[in-house]
Structure 1
């Protein structure tokens, strides 16, 4: 991740490999609570379909990585962040993307768990107040190698074009 691009060379990402059984279990419990609340927002048919989705590998994945953006980073002296402060978090996402591509090149699966309460995860991991959770990643070898995304395969989402437009 050290070679990922970042606004003003700020390198705001802070990466924690979560190995503690207790911390991992508490984060998985947080996912289950958040997921149950999300499921409750759907009507009964959609709720059934939603609950059938495999949305996290928190109990199965051998490696858990919590990626935070340090919003108090001094490097770069705020170059680019004065007018577009969101680029600090975007820089962290670029680092996550770099890790993701490197992992996939080695046939390692990566899952981004986004159904979490960021404040709860930060409290479980005891991070500084200037750190905000950008992503929680599960890494490991996938159960199957599929070209079709799960959300398309299950019919939860249709395949839509993301073509470029020229203006």
Structure 2
């Protein structure tokens, strides 16, 4: 097809998707150059958004003192999360490394202005949550662009959003969608951490596909 990328370009896109990882360890101390960070944020800002509302806002966090407080917020939430497990699973959870807040030389908090008038509410009357989906698309854009640039990204979801909102001075009408750790890394793992450490395994693609009507006949089963 004339609109398709060249084979090498297509391979690069699919490689970025296949080798993207949630990076929690191995960050180097070298900060990202400003021009590289701007490229990554530009990729995020170029993501699809309902009604072209572009609701995403980006807070770059480089101050070590601020990141130390964020790490404390994570630690408290992580302790509470660990308490929801028991026995071997609790020990397994406690052995996992789930963040790189202090190790990564910059963090990024991504928030959504879900009530923005931009886009004139096009596409949001019946599914207002699409504003949040738009911000998730922005995060995925950034993540794939980062992988292509050799930059690691880790999503920290074990965190108290209210405390984080207060710490970073985020207005109440904005919704925190993600807190990310970003930086150069010494390597990218061949497989996801949670799979490598035995927490969970990937499902087969065919087990989550149905046609014309929803079917979960293969859900959770080996449909190979």
TM range (shorter): over 0.9
TM-score by length of 1: 0.95
- Establish whether residue 58 from structure 1 lines up as the match of residue 101 from structure 2: yes
Cross-structure match for 2:182: 139
- Matches of residues 4-153 of structure 1 in structure 2 within 5 Å? 4-153=47-196
TM-score by length of 2: 0.72
Q: Rg: which structure is higher?
A: 2
Cross-structure match for 1:165: 210
Q: After superposition, what is the alpha-carbon deviation per residue over 1:93-152, rounded to whole angstroms, capped at 9, x for unaligned?
A: 001111111000011111110001111111100011111100011111234322211111
CA distance in 2 between partners of 1:15 and 1:96 (Å): 10
**How far has the Cα of 1:44 moved from its partner?**
2.6
Q: After superposition, what is the alpha-carbon deviation per residue over 1:32-60, rounded to whole angstroms, capped at 9, x for unaligned?
A: 00000000111131111101111101110
Aligned pair count reads 167
